[in-house]
Amino acid sequence: MKRRAMDEINWKKELLYSANFKKRQENFLQNGLKSLSDSWLLGILYTRWKKLKGIKERAAPDCSSSFREWNKKVEDADKCQS
């Protein structure tokens, strides 16, 4: 699905009607959040909805590198400037 289409979907209502929830979870979906920990739970509920819909996120790229690689790049740059 395109991002625009995802924004138009009211995932909270869809999720609320698709499954049974505890009172607290229903309250979040209907009335919003009051604290940071509530937002964490809402994130979990959003992930649950995406799994029910079969929506998969792209994997994050591997941006890791070692100090050795970084140091080699710096040394090579220093050699070029000399």
Given this model, what pLDDT does residue 7 score? 55
Mean pLDDT of 55-65: 81
Question: What's the pTM value of the predicted model, to 2 decimals?
Answer: 0.52
Q: pLDDT above 70 covers what percent of the chain?
A: 89
Q: How far apart are CA 82 and CA 78, in angstroms?
A: 6
Tokens matching residue 23: 């009172």
CB of 77 closer than 8 Å to CB of 69: no
Residue 26, token pair as written in the block: 């229903």
Name the average pLDDT for the chain: 79
State pLDDT tens for residues 35-55: 888 888 888 888 888 888 888
pLDDT over threshold 70, residue 12: yes
Q: How far is CA 32 from CA 15, 22, 35, in A?
A: 14, 15, 10
Cα separation, 30 vs 13, in Å, equals 8
